[in-house]
Amino acid sequence: MSIPVFRPCFDEEEVDAVREVLMSGWVGPGQKVEELEKRFAEYVGTEFALSMNSCSSALFTALKVIGVEGREVVTTAQTFVSTNHAILQNGATPVFADIEGTTLNISPESIAHRVNDKTAAIMVVHHGGHPCDMDPIMGIANEKGIPVIEDAAHAAGARYKGRMAGALGTIGCFSFHALKNMSTGDGGMLTTDDESVAERVRNVRWMGITRSTYDRFRKNGRARAWEYDVDEVGYKFHMNDLNAAIGIVQLGKLESTNAARREVAVQYRSAFEDVEWIEMLGEKDYAQSANHAFVVLAEDRDRLIEHLAEKGIDGGVHYRPNHLYSVYEPYRRDLPVTESLWTKMVTLPMYPSMSNDEVLQVIEAVREFEPLTT
C-alpha cells in the first residue's frame, strides 16, 4: 500500500454521529449545525461562526458581503485557485503580492506596495497551516480602512501570538474538506466578530431567505412556516446536520490530531536538517502551525517526486502559483520569490494516523535521493 500525502482521519465515533442524525428524521440544517457553529466560535474565539458547504463558498460569501465588485483585492498567487476564483466571481480584480521565502505566506512588505485607493480588501492565506505575520498586515489594513479576509483553509487550530487563526482579521474562512485537519466530509466555516457581516452571511448562504427552515419547522412547531421574506438573491451554501455531526466529533479531536501532525513534522525536521539539497521552511516565533502540509524546497524537485513514487510514496506540489494559469494571464505581474520557489516545492506525507514506520520510510526514501543539480 502506498503512503499518501494526506489521509482522512475518521473512526467509529463519526460513524455513530452520522447514524444518530440519519435516524433522527432531520438531516438538513438544524440542531447539529447550530451546535457546531456555537462550539467552533468558542474554540476560535469569535462572536460568530457560520457553517458553509465549503471554504470556497465561505470565501465567495466573505467578498460578497464586503462588496468588492469593480475594485481590487490584494492577494497571493501561492494558493489553491478557489482563493482567487472567489475574487473573479465577485467581479473584482486580483492584485497579486509576493510571498515570504521562509513561510510561503504573503509578504506584508509586498502588500504595502500593492494597496491603493482601489483596494477593497486584503486576502491572506495561512499556507500549510502556518499563520501569516498578521500584525503588520492588520497595521496596513487599519491605516487604510481595508477589511482583511483570512483564508484559513489549512489553519484550523493554528495560532498567531496565542490567538487563533480565523479570529485575526475581519472574516476568517475555514475548510472542512475530507483531507483537512478537521473534516465534515466536505464543508467550511466563516468566522467574524461583526454582527452585520454575520447577519448578511446567514441570508446569502440560504437563498436570501430571512428565516431558516429549521426555525420555521422545528423551533416554531410549523406555525405559519411559509411566512418569510427573500430580501436578496442568495445561494445554496449551507451545511447540513450530517456534515455538522461529523464536524462536532472532529472538533473535539482537533488539538490531539494537530499534536500528532506536529510530532511528524518534528521527526522530518530532525531527519533532514543535514541534507544539503533540502531547505526546510521555518516556524516563526510568533506562530504555532497547524501543520496541515509539510513542504520542503528541494533541488531537482520533479525527479524527487518520481523517486518517491517508485518507493510507493506520494509527493505533492502545493501549489502552482495561480498567476501562471491561463485564466489569470490578464493579472500577471512580477513575483520573483513566488516564481523562484514553486519549482522546488515538495509536499511530503503528513496525517495524524501516520505510523512511525511510514514516517521512517519517507525519511529513508528522501535521504537516499541524489539530485542532479545542487
Residues identified as active-site: 180
* CA dihedral (126, 131, 132, 137) positive or negative: positive
Residues β-bridged to residue 206: 236
Residues β-bridged to residue 74: 95, 122
Beta strands in 209-343 (DSSP E): 278-280, 287-288, 294-298
List, edge to edge, every strand of the sheet that includes 294-298: 278-280, 294-298, 345-348
Please name which of 93, 71, 156, 127 lies closest in space to residue 338, comparing C-alpha atoms: 127
- Output phi, psi for 188, to 5 deg: -160, 180
For residues 325 and 318, what is the distance between their CA atoms, to the nearest angstrom?
Answer: 14
Cβ(146)–Cβ(169) under 8 Å? Answer: no
Looking from the CA of 315 toward its CB, the CA atoms found within 13 Å total 22
Cα distances (angstroms) measured from residue 146 to each of 67, 87, 119, 278? 12, 15, 7, 38
Residue type, 27: V
Looking from the CA of 128 toward its CB, the CA atoms found within 13 Å total 33
For residues 43 and 41, what is the distance between their CA atoms, to the nearest angstrom?
Answer: 5
Residue type, 364: E
Q: How many residues does the chain have?
A: 374
State the virtual CA torsion across 34, 36, 38, 39 in degrees, nearest 10. 160
* Angle at CA of residue 239, ends 233 and 243, nearest 5°: 165
Residue 120 grid cell: 477593497
For residues 166 and 177, what is the distance between their CA atoms, to the nearest angstrom?
Answer: 17
